[in-house]
Amino acid sequence: MRLKRLSHPSLIPTLVLVCALLTSSNLFARPLTVADDEWVSAELVSLLLSPQGTPVVLLQPHQSQQVVPIFIGLVEGQAIENALQDVVTPRPMTHDLLRNLVLGLDLQLKRVLIDQMQQGAYLSFLELDGPTLSQPRLIDARPSDAMALALRVGAEIYLGPSVLDSATEVDVRLIAEQLVTARGISVSHLPADLRQALDLPDTPGVLVTEALGSAQEQGLMPGALITHVNEQSTPSPMAYLRAIRQAPPQATLSMQIWQAGETQVLQVTTDHPVSRPRPPAQPPAAEDI
């Protein structure tokens, strides 16, 4: 999926928000009415375009065949796609800046909490914590911005009961072809028929579709099965992406794979490799949407 790259509004409100959260636990807050035991974790299983051309994020609750569709703007859709495809821009875009601020201020995005719907729009919080905070902070945020940031730092997404009520039944196998890229390795969902055709074991994992940089130098090849990253299981593309993003910058990843009929462990650096050539981006639009 390719979305038109657009310019973005002023960053001043964003900078004010991030700085203010260090001094106040209630600034920009609204009531959170969901109890701790009511949250259900969810996975971003696909980013699609509706027939009208609007990006749609599909969230699948844990152990469910349902999905929650959230319609988002083109700018946020581009930001989410960039995170899924590990696109590095010449200068930090808005959500890259937010990631740098969170990490630079020694904070941690613990969770994205999508808690309710009001007037046809979903609402969410960023749950931030860190040694400089006396207690976790809840920051009101649009789900699209929250998810774009979560993908960049490896945070999990949780849904409240009223959000789950809006879920719809789908055959998730039809939308499980999500391709994600992180640190030069592109992976996808592995359907049962392809697993059998490639003679891969039944161990949960993701299929390597491309390997560049350090991974390629270590011998990783398309068709391999990645089962663990830093001892974290990777049963889906999003689980793989989270494991990669949770690693410290410039860290070496221990990657367990199945390749050439045997289990192997590779040590892969997290530096960005030289990417394959990309088509030139379209020029920014004259106005934001």
The arithmetic mean of pLDDT across residues 224-250, rounded, is 90
- The strand order across the sheet containing 55-61 reads 137-141, 121-129, 108-118, 156-159, 40-49, 55-61, 66-71, 168-169
Residue pair 93/82 in contact by the 8 Å Cβ criterion: yes
Q: Which two tokens stand for residue 174?
A: 């039809």
Q: What is the pTM of this model?
A: 0.69
Q: Which two tokens stand for residue 17?
A: 């928000």
pLDDT tens for residues 121-148? Answer: 999 999 999 998 899 999 999 999 999 9
pLDDT tens for residues 185-218? Answer: 999 888 888 888 888 999 999 999 989 888 899 9
Task: Report how far apart, in Å, the C-alpha atoms of 282 and of each of 3, 86, 180, 184 are.
Answer: 10, 18, 22, 23
What domains, with CATH codes, occur in the chain? 12-169 (3.10.690.10), 177-269 (2.30.42.60)
Residue 137 pairs in a beta bridge with 128
Confidence of residue 47 (pLDDT cuts 50, 70, 90): confident
